[in-house]
Chains A and B, each alone.
Chain A
Amino acid sequence: KLMDCAAPRVEQSFAEPLRSCSWIRQIVVRVSVFSPIIPRDGVQAYGFCTRALAARGFSTVGTAEVSVEDEDSSSPMVEHPPRIKFKRPDKTARHIMNILNKEAVDKVRTERTIPDVQPGCIVQMRVQVPENKRRESTLKGIVIARRNAGIATTFRLRRLVAGVGVESVFPLYSPNIKEIKILDRKKVRRAKLYYLRDRMNALKK
């Protein structure tokens, strides 16, 4: 859809996106500057293009320069497939972080499969600890909590090590976690199993 709308306008508007791209490279993006563009042109498709660029560039200006460069290198309007529809850009700006999070999670999920760890799972995982040891260790324990936060989703593993209880929090999408294998799933009636800190025999039920 973007390509269809954009194709007729390529000549006129080719200069504009390039200029707006240079805008994006600057540190401060003034959103108010872009809003006059839309009523001035009256063409939704063109506004769509610049907005798509502006919204993408605007969100990642501090952090990932990569996506901005990505947009600039390819022909601005045509090639980049619109993954998300920007119907109202000012509303989109509010959940840009949501969109970025989802993209990051999808990227990790396509690279390796991560099973669904829920509280109550008994899990065995192979972790590579960066603490000066390039050796993989195997950890086995029960998941007692899971906190969903996009790419920073963490789960809490409780295990008995040499007679002492140890709880560790791991980011689910961490590249240090080489493999997660679910050994067993216990039926639990809550999301956070902190009561297990007092009662280790409750696990065996």
Chain B
Amino acid sequence: MGSVGNNLYGGINSSAETVTRPSHCDAISQQIRTFIQMRTNLKVVDNSGAKRVMCIQSLRGKKGARLGDMIIGSVKEAQPRGKVKKGDVVYGVVVRAAMKKGRSDGSEVQFDDNAIVIVNNKGELIGTRVFGPVPHELRKKKHLKILALAEHIV
């Protein structure tokens, strides 16, 4: 069981584009995707210096954060010279969530990974670039700066 857990963690650490995973992970990779809660590992997709953040608190929702919500996280892995370093407690906005988010027209959208961008407690971005796609939901949450910097809006 421990080995499978480590295997998953190794799988998450690699980028989303890697194709092959061992076949015995199939049953686990089909699990139900849920909220972002305490101890959830998230990828950081801006150039603030952090690489991985572990959520320690979701600022919205009793069960956890969803797409577009803010969380408080602890930086677990960071690039050597960046604005944040390992062990910092930071705020973040969830820009990609593996849990599906419904839209008003009946469609739903879900991403392959969980990702955040780091903000300060007012909601302003710390980094200057955002990588990867972001959803439309951020417009309603008034994170217009993230939308402006994004590569692609889903």
A residues within 8 Å of B by Cβ? 129-133, 152, 154, 161-171, 174, 176, 194-195, 197-201
Contact = CB atoms under 8 A, between A and B. Distances in A.
A164 B113 contact: yes
A164 B154 CA distance: 11
A131 B139 contact: yes
| Residue among A132, A166, A200 with most chain B CB within 10 A | A166
A162 B151 contact: yes
Interface string B79-107: 00000000000000000100010011111
Interface string B15-31: 11101110000100110
28 contacts: A130-B103, A130-B105, A131-B103, A131-B104, A131-B137, A132-B136, A132-B140, A133-B136, A161-B133, A162-B131, A162-B151, A162-B152, A164-B112, A164-B113, A165-B111, A166-B110, A166-B111, A166-B133, A166-B154, A167-B109, A168-B154, A169-B107, A169-B109, A197-B29, A198-B21, A199-B20, A200-B19, A201-B19
Contacts of B152: 161-162
A195 B104 CA distance: 29
A165 B133 CA distance: 9
Nearest to B108: A169
Contacts of B140: 131-132
A100 B123 CA distance: 48
Contacts of B154: 161, 166, 168
Given A131-B136, A132-B139, A198-B21, A163 B16 contact: yes
Interface of B: 15-17, 19-21, 26, 29-30, 96, 100, 103-113, 131-133, 136-137, 139-140, 151-152, 154
A20 B105 CA distance: 37
B109 A166 contact: yes
The residue among A129, A131, A164, A198 with the most chain B CB atoms within 10 A of its own CB is A164
Contacts of A195: 26
A139 to B, nearest CB: 9
Given A169-B108, A176-B105, A164 B96 contact: yes
B106 A174 contact: yes
Contacts of B103: 129-131
B17 A163 contact: yes
Given A198-B21, A200-B19, A201-B19, A162 B133 contact: yes
A159 to B, nearest CB: 9
A92 B1 CA distance: 55
A36 to B, nearest CB: 43
A144 B86 CA distance: 40
Nearest to B152: A162
Nearest to A194: B30
A129 B107 CA distance: 10
A137 B17 CA distance: 24
A165 B140 CA distance: 23
Contact of B112 (A133, A152, A165): A165
